[in-house]
Amino acid sequence: MSSRQSPGRPTAVSRAGRLLERGWARCERGNRIGALDCFQDAARIPDAAPAERAEALHAQGAMLDALGMDGEALDAFEELARDYLDSLDETIAARVDAALGDSVVLLAGQGRAREALDLSDRLLKRLEGSGRPGAAADEAAALCNRGTLLLKLGREREAARCFARAARRASLAGDADGLLHGARARNALGFVLLMRAKPRAASRRKRRGLGAALRLLGQALDFHDDPPTVQGNQAYALFLLGRAGEARAPLSEALRVDGERVYACEVQDASGRSIPEDADFLRFLADTWREVQGTEPPAL
């Protein structure tokens, strides 16, 4: 569940600016190593304007992250945050916020949960007091990332509160980023409600929980950047509600678009807090795979 974004970039005219332009052009062509060289050179120019150096450091960190060099990426993000943490320039402040958010995701990926949560606290306090444009969407993204980390740590209730808060903050953003992060938050919260409801014995509470999950997932689908994940969650919730006929369409579409990943995720979900209906769901999943892909399901 990462939401890393780069703030807008001013027109470049200086030496550092030309290197940045060259770096972004190489990035667009898929030449990450060449792009990284340009960004590193731009960050080292002694008289680079603060906005240009901040951009270069953030881009450097992003390229290092994309190349799998997590430690070096964290160093670049840390340098950016250290040097410009108190900047009053809104563009630079946005880059600092993005670097802190990226660092939270990287630390979590390295298993450094305590450090990630501490940095997440710092970022959220910073964003809560920020009046800059885009801060509401950035806060929603940071809350989503925090919720995902808490979920991995088994702190389900705290995660659910983060996702709910993220959805509320995203609704205040009023832009495309807000719609995206709101969709991610609703999908994540819907998934939490789904997994909390499934082990309950057949009851009104179980059906209410699954129904609430379905409503959130439906709200998430139109603006989410990963529709197959949302559709897989929808199919699972519908199946557990006894609506297998309705579950087939979203599951078929998810398997058609991103088959092996969705299949593996659904198997994993059905294996968590397993209930008797899960065996039937796994058979339903395998049959739907055969219909859509025309082959036997992946061996997991």
Mean pLDDT of the chain: 92
DSSP 70-116: HHHHHHHHHHHHHHHTT---HHHHHHHHHHHHHHHHHHHHTT-HHHH
pLDDT in tens, 58-96: 999 999 999 999 999 999 999 999 999 999 999 999 999
Q: Does pLDDT of 115 surpass 60?
A: yes
- Whole-number pLDDT of residue 5: 46
Percent of the chain as helix, strand, coil, to the nearest 5: 75, 0, 25
Q: Report the C-alpha gap between 259 and 280 in whole angstroms.
A: 19
Q: Report the C-alpha gap between 85 and 92 in whole angstroms.
A: 9
Q: Report the C-alpha gap between 247 and 47 in whole angstroms.
A: 60
Say which residues have a Cβ less than 8 Å from residue 289's Cβ, sequence separation at least 6. 255, 259, 263, 295, 297
- Whole-number pLDDT of residue 201: 63
* pTM: predicted TM-score of the whole model, two decimal places: 0.85
- Compute CA distances 227 → 1, 7, 136, 238, whole Å: 13, 25, 23, 16
Give the lowest-confidence range in 47-51, 111-115, 222-226, 271-275: 271-275
Q: Report the C-alpha gap between 155 and 68 in whole angstroms.
A: 28
Q: Does pLDDT of 250 surpass 60?
A: yes
